[in-house]
């Protein structure tokens, strides 16, 4: 069997870095893309790993990373859209640049990267596109409106895209992690709170007091395993919830109406 090649965005840390390690360990060629490859000290030393600069908000860097990957390995079999960041706070208090950046990275970046790999996948009549959304792409918690909006967008995009790409031999998959203790909260979260909008303070402050106690799984590698499964199982399965919280919550909501879901989420907080 020919060695397969995966392109991963946001491979500098967290799920993306774990996925790069896991694919490489399983004999894949890995295009480990990130905003600052010059800072990466581990992945570049592994066999069959190409470190490339790719900022999902910079079209030229997406095109160049895809081109370099194809030049080195001959093609891209799997794209993992993992890069992302979060935001926390009251919608009305969100700085305009955060609103824009949230969608630029989590939605437009995903769309641009998909469009950049498609010509080559179409010509080979095969490929897998894996979008890392979240359990928060199907259930929404308070004070994360922008983040949820982007992850719901990724879900809708993926669900629709499977119809147009399936007949061309290209599968679309969504990995939906629950809460995992990556560096996400430290390095990839814009927190703007309620600012000086006093009306929101009682609810936001109560929420902020509890949010740090939200249970986060230490088993971060499970997400890379789910990504790898999605890349290799050859099935038409669209969604891969991962983590006990995501699996339980998404299962529970299947039997509930919107009001019951709202009451359940409010009850957690
Ligand atoms: P993480 O370690 O902070 O990873 C986020 C990655 O995205 C970093 O490598 C970051 O790169 C990259 N990134 C941010 N902006 C970028 C841009 N403009 N272009 C390219 N890369 C960019 O956190 P993580 O938990 O592994 O998150 C990975 C994905 O999982 C995200 O899409 C996140 O929404 C999703 N997710 C996380 C959780 C969780 O509980 N951790 C749950 C559900 C979903 P830099 O190093 O350059 O900042």
CATH number at residue 60: 3.40.50.720
14-73 pLDDT per residue, tens: 999 999 999 999 999 999 999 999 999 999 999 999 999 999 999 999 999 999 999 999
The C-alpha angle 50, 54, 58, rounded to 5 degrees, equals: 160
Report pLDDT for 22: 98
Report pLDDT for 89: 97
Report pLDDT for 87: 96
Tell which atom from ligand 1 comes closest to the C-alpha of 185. 3
Lining ligand 1 with CB less than 6 A are 9-10, 12-16, 34-36, 55-57, 82-86, 105, 132, 134, 177, 179-180, 182-184, 187-188
Which residue has its alpha carbon closest to ligand 1 atom 36? 134
Tell which atom from ligand 1 comes closest to the C-alpha of 54. 20
CA 62/CA 117 separation, integer angstroms:
9
Tell which atom from ligand 1 comes closest to the C-alpha of 133. 44
CA 265/CA 269 separation, integer angstroms:
7
Residues of the chain with pLDDT under 70: 1
Q: Which domain holds residue 112?
A: 5-268
Which residue has its alpha carbon closest to ligand 1 atom 34? 84
Tell which atom from ligand 1 comes closest to the C-alpha of 179. 40
Report pLDDT for 1: 66
Rg (CA), the chain: 19
Report pLDDT for 267: 85
Report pLDDT for 149: 98
Which residue has its alpha carbon closest to ligand 1 atom 33? 84
Report pLDDT for 211: 84
Evaluate if pTM is beyond 0.95.
yes
Which residue has its alpha carbon closest to ligand 1 atom 1? 184
Distance 157 CA to ligand 1 centre (A): 19
Q: Strands (DSSP E) along the chain, which ranges?
A: 5-8, 29-34, 49-53, 78-81, 86-89, 127-132, 170-177, 189-193, 239-242
Distance 237 CA to ligand 1 centre (A): 24
Distance 14 CA to ligand 1 centre (A): 7
Query: Which residues are catalytically annotated?
Result: 147
Tell which atom from ligand 1 comes closest to the C-alpha of 11. 9
CA 164/CA 143 separation, integer angstroms:
34
Distance 187 CA to ligand 1 centre (A): 9
How many domains, the chain? 1
Percent above pLDDT 90 for the chain: 94
Which residue has its alpha carbon closest to ligand 1 atom 46? 12
Distance 9 CA to ligand 1 centre (A): 9
The best mutation among 62, 80, 83 to test binding of ligand 1, ranked by most ligand atoms within 8 Å of the C-beta, falls on: 83
């Amino acid at each position: 069997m020919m060695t397969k090649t995966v392109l991963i965005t946001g491979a500098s840390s967290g799920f993306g870095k774990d996925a790069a390690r896991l694919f490489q360990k399983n004999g894949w060629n890995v295009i480990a893309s990130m905003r600052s490859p010059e800072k990466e000290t581990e992945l570049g030393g592994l066999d069959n790993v190409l470190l490339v600069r790719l900022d999902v908000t910079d079209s030229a860097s997406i095109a160049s990373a895809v081109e370099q990957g194809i030049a080195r390995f001959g093609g891209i079999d799997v794209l993992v859209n993992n890069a992302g960041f979060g935001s926390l706070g009251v919608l009305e208090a969100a700085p305009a640049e955060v609103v824009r950046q949230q969608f630029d990275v989590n939605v437009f970046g995903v769309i641009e990267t998909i469009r950049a790999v498609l010509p080559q996948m179409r010509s080979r009549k095969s490929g897998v596109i894996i979008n890392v959304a979240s359990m928060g792409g199907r259930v929404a918690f308070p004070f994360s409106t922008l983040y949820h909006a982007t992850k719901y967008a990724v879900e809708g995009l993926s669900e629709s895209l499977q119809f147009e790409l399936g007949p061309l031999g290209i599968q679309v998959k969504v990995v939906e992690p629950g809460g995992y203790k990556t560096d996400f909260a430290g390095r990839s979260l814009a927190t703007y709170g309620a600012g000086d909008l006093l009306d929101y303070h009682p609810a936001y402050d109560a929420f902020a007091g509890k949010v740090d106690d939200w249970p986060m799984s230490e088993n971060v590698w499970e997400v890379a395993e789910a990504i790898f499964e999605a890349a290799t199982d050859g099935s038409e399965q669209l969604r891969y919830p991962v983590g006990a919280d995501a699996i339980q919550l998404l299962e529970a909501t299947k039997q509930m109406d919107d009001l019951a879901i709202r009451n359940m989420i409010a009850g957690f907080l």
